[in-house]
């Protein structure tokens, strides 16, 4: 019997419960840094060392946190469903929880890429500094989609969404585009469960279910719903 396909759209809220700060919860700041100063192509051009220091700090912070109950729940779904996680998060908490099929829309904190050839991407867990070069001689940069840059993985995600039998949105307020628009690519009638304390505005969906809880609390309700649907 073919497994039903679940597509999970996850955002910063799920990682926040593991202790990773989110800029939207702190007035547009990450660890007291302005987004414009550390997460844009212009910031890289103006102060490369500051940008590198900022991501080095975030990389260190990532090593200090662990996946939470929501990450584990999503990974456990693979026992009974064909699951793809489409995440706005750049951390590796989904991977560490055990999820095996993940699309990172906004890049990955534990990877770097060449500034001269964006296809040269490398795993990277230590500090990245000026002078760390790719084999072709170009400076390495964080493998992160900065504000103002294209989101190349969005097209793969868009193509995948119509294949979902169930959509779970968790930890995202559906405010950051183009990621926020993905939910509208689900087929008509497919159940969409949105786990978010604020019930973000969503239009054009005919089978939407709001679960006004945090990520770790909301997954318990999702678990009951899925078990009842078997």
Residues 6+ apart with CB under 8 A from 7: 83, 84, 85, 86, 160, 161, 163, 164, 166, 167, 168, 186
194: DSSP letter:
E
Provide the 3-class DSSP secondary structure of residue 84. Answer: strand
201: alpha, beta or left? (left if phi > 0; alpha if psi -120 to 50) = beta
**Rg (Cα) of the chain, in Å, rounded?**
18
**Euclidean distance between CA atoms 64 and 66, whole angstroms:** 7
Question: Which residue is catalytic, options 71, 94, 106, 143?
Answer: 106
DSSP readout, 108-165?
EEEEEEESS-TT-EEE--S---TT-B-TTSPBEEEEE--TTS--TTHHHHHHHGGG-S
Active site residue 143: no
Alpha-carbon gap, residue 172 to 59, rounded angstroms: 22
Could you give the residue numbers annotated as active site? 106
């Amino acid at each position: 019997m073919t497994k039903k396909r679940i597509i999970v759209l996850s955002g910063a809220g799920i990682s926040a419960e593991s202790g990773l700060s989110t800029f939207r919860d702190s007035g547009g700041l990450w660890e007291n840094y302005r987004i414009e100063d550390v997460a844009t192509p212009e910031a890289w051009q103006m102060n490369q060392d500051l940008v590198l220091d900022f991501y080095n700090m975030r990389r260190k912070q990532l090593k200090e946190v662990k996946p939470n109950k929501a990450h584990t729940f999503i990974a456990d779904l693979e026992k009974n469903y064909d699951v793809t996680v489409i995440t706005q998060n750049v951390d590796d908490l989904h991977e560490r929880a055990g999820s095996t099929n993940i699309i990172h829309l906004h890049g990955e904190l534990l990877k770097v890429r060449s500034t001269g050839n964006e296809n040269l991407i490398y795993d990277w867990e230590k500090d990245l500094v000026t002078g760390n070069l790719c084999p072709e001689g170009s400076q390495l940069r964080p493998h992160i989609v900065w504000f103002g840059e294209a989101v190349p993985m969005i097209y793969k995600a868009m193509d995948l969404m119509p294949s979902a039998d169930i959509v779970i949105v968790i930890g995202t307020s559906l405010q950051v585009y183009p990621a926020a628009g993905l939910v509208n690519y689900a087929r008509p009638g497919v159940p969409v469960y949105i786990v978010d304390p604020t019930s973000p505005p969503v239009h054009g969906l005919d089978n939407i279910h709001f679960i006004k809880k945090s990520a770790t609390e909301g997954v318990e309700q999702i678990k009951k719903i899925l078990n009842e649907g078997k």
